[in-house]
Structure 1
C-alpha cells in the first residue's frame, strides 16, 4: 500500500523523468504502476479508496473526548445511568460530550455496559428443523384448524395430514374436540390408506401433537417427530397455507350446522384439492398428479408446445420459459 506522501513523490519523479525525455509508460513500469493509476493520482485522487484501507474521518472523536466520556460515565453521580439518560442529563447541565450512540459505542468497547435487570439474558432463537423431501411419503406435516359452528365461539376441529412433496392431503378427520388419541387414530388411518409411512412428521407444539398417545404411535411406526419453534406458526407453513386455501375458496360456508355437514363439506374440499386444484407451488399441477409422478409428462407436453411456439413465433422466444420439475422440497430451509 503506497501512502499519499509517497504517491505525490512518485508523480514528481515521473514528471521530472518525462521532462528529461523519458517515456511515461516506461517510467510507470519501473515504478510498478499503470498509466491509469498515474492519471488518477494526477487528477487529485491520491486517497486510497480500496476496501479495508485506512480512512480519515472528519468527525472522529479524539482520544481526549473518549477519555472524558469514560470518566464522566464512571463518575458516582452518573454510573447507574444509561447512555441516553447520561446524554440528557449532560445537556441539562449545559455540557455536550458526544451523541448517545457514540457514548454507547465507547462504553461497549471498554466493557462498561452491563445488564440492569434481573431477567435472563436473551439468547438467539435456534433455527427451525430443516426437513427435505425428494419424493412422496418422506415428510408429512399436520395441524388442527377450527371449523366454526353456528353458535359463536364453538368449533369443530379438522385434523389434516399433508405430504409436503406433493401437497396432497393424505389423511383427515373432523371431531368435536382436540385430543392426542384422536390425532393418533387419524395418523394410523392415514398410513393405512396411503400404504406407506413418512420418515418425519412435523407439527407445532400443541397438546395433541405432543401427547403420549401420539408419541407412542409415532414410535411404533418408526416415524421421527419434528416440531416448530414455540409461537412461530411459519415453521409449519405448508399446513397453514392449506388451511388458508380451505377457508378462502368461494364455496366455503363460513359456519356449519352439524358435524356431519362439516365432514361432508371437507370431504368435497379434499377431493377438489387433491384432484382438481392446480397448485402454484408445484408447477400448476394437482397434488395427485405430482404424488403419482404424472406431472413430468405434463411438463414435457408444455415444453413441447413452447418449443413449437419458438419456431413459429421467434419474436417472443426469449419470453418463454421451460417448465422445470421441482426435485426437492424443503421445510424451513436454513439459509446461511
Structure 2
C-alpha cells in the first residue's frame, strides 16, 4: 500500500511515532496530577503552612539577610526554624513575594513607621494584630485566623476565619472593627503588626492612607515578637485551650470552636491583669468611670 501511494516506510512509521507521542502528552495534561501541598515539614515532622513560610521569608529580607538569594533564604529557615525547604519551592515562594531580584526604591504614600515605646491609658489607643494558623486533620489543610486585640482592655475587637487570609480580607475585618468599636468623633487606634506580606501590601497601605479616616500603622522590627506581646499571648492561650485539645475534621468544626472560644474569652473569661474581670466587663467598667486610672507601658 505504501509503495502504491508513493510513501516511504520510514516516513510513515516516523509520523506514527510522533502521533503516539502527542496522544500520550494529551493524556498526561488531562490528568489533575498530585496537588502541591500547602505546607512544608520541619526536621521533627511538624507541618508549617506556606503562609507562615512567606511571613518568615519577608522577615528575613527585612533584616540582616536582605542580600540573600532564595537558596540562602531556605538555608536560613532551616537554621532558625528547622524547616526543610527545597530550592524549587523556595524559588516559587520568593518569586511570589517578589524577592528574587532587587526591587527599586518604593515611593510609599505614607511613612514607614517602626513600633515605638508607648504608654496606653485607655481603650482604642493601640491595637495589636497578627495571623495564626490551625490544622484541619480531615482535609490535611490549614485554616487561618487574623485577629486584633486592644492592649488596654484585652478585648479581641475583630477577627477573620478562613481557608485563606488575604490583604483584602484583613482590610475588610479592620474596617468592620473600627465601625463597631469606635464612636463618632473618637480618635482612631494605632495599628501594630509584624512584617507579614499582608501588612506590607498595597491594599493595607491604601486603607491606612484613606483621606476620610487615616490610620497610623507601625511595624515591629524583625524577630521581636515581644513588641507584639498581647496578641502573641492571646494566640498562645488559643493554642493551649483550643488547638491542642481539638481534632478538627472539617473547617466548620474549627470555625465554630474558635468563634465560641473568642466569645467566651471576651465575655466571661477572668483575666488576672483586669482585676479578675473579663475584657468586656473591664471595658464597660472603664466606660462607666468605675476604675482607677491605669497606664500600660510597652
Q: TM-score, normalised by structure 1?
A: 0.49
User: How many Å separate the matches in 1 of 2:119 and 2:234?
Assistant: 19
Alpha-carbon shift at residue 254 of structure 1 (Å): 3.4
Distance 1:228 1:136 in 2: 21
Give the 3-state SS of the residue equivalent to 1:141 in structure 2: strand
2:220 equivalent to 1:228: yes
Match of 2:155 in 1: 168
- Give the C-alpha shift of residue 235 in structure 1: 1.3
Counterparts of 1:277 and 1:298, CA distance in 2: 20
CA RMSD of aligned residues (A): 2.5
Q: Please tell me whether the aligned partners of residues 163 and 170 of structure 1 are also in contact (alpha carbons under 8 angstroms).
A: yes
Counterpart CA distance in 2 for 1:290 and 1:329 is: 15
Q: 1:210 aligns with which of 190, 196, 200?
A: 200
Q: Which has the larger radius of gyration?
A: 1
Quote the Cα distance in structure 2 between the aligned partners of 1:289 and 1:154.
36
**Secondary structure, aligned partner of 1:170:** strand
1:152 CA drift (Å): 8.3
> Who is 1:179 aligned against?
166
Q: Which runs of 5+ in 1 are unaligned?
A: 1-126, 300-324, 332-336
Shift in alpha-carbon separation, 1:128–1:224, aligned structure 2, 3 A:
closer
Paired residue for 2:190, among 189, 192, 200? 200
- The match for 2:177 among 184, 190, 193 is 190
Cα distance in 2 for residues equivalent to 1:259 and 1:152: 9
Write the distance in 2 (CA, Å) between the matches of 1:178 and 1:271: 21
SS in structure 2 at match of 1:143: strand
Question: Are 2:253 and 1:261 equivalent residues in the alignment?
Answer: yes
Alpha carbons of structure 1 residues 145 and 251: separation in structure 2 relative to 1, 3 Å: closer
Q: Which runs of 5+ in 2 are unaligned?
A: 1-113
Q: Which piece of structure 1 moves more, 188-197 or 233-242?
A: 188-197
1:133 aligns with 2:125: no
* Cα offsets for 1:294-313 (capped at 9, x unmatched): 598887xxxxxxxxxxxxxx
> Contact (CA 8 Å) 1:148, 1:254: kept in 2 or not?
no
The separation in 2 between residues aligned to 1:258 and 1:162, in whole angstroms, is 27
What SS class does the counterpart of residue 155 from structure 1 fall into? Answer: strand
Displacement of 1:210:
1.7
Q: CA deviation at 1:227?
A: 0.9
User: Residue 282 and residue 148 in structure 1: after superposition, are their counterparts in 2 closer, same or farther (change >3 A)?
Assistant: same
Q: Distance in 1 between matches of 2:148 and 2:200?
A: 15
1-structure distance, mates of 2:289, 2:178: 27
Structure 1 segments (4+ residues) deviating >3 Å: 195-198, 250-255, 294-299
Q: Is the 8 A contact 1:132 1:139 kept in 2?
A: no
Between the aligned partners of 1:326 and 1:147, the Cα distance in structure 2 is 38
- Residue 273 of structure 1: which of 265, 280, 283 is its match? 265
Q: Map 1:132-151 onto structure 2 (within 5 A).
A: 132-150=119-137
TM-score (norm 2): 0.55
Structure 2 match to 1:158: 145
Cα distance between partner residues in 1 of 2:124 and 2:133: 26
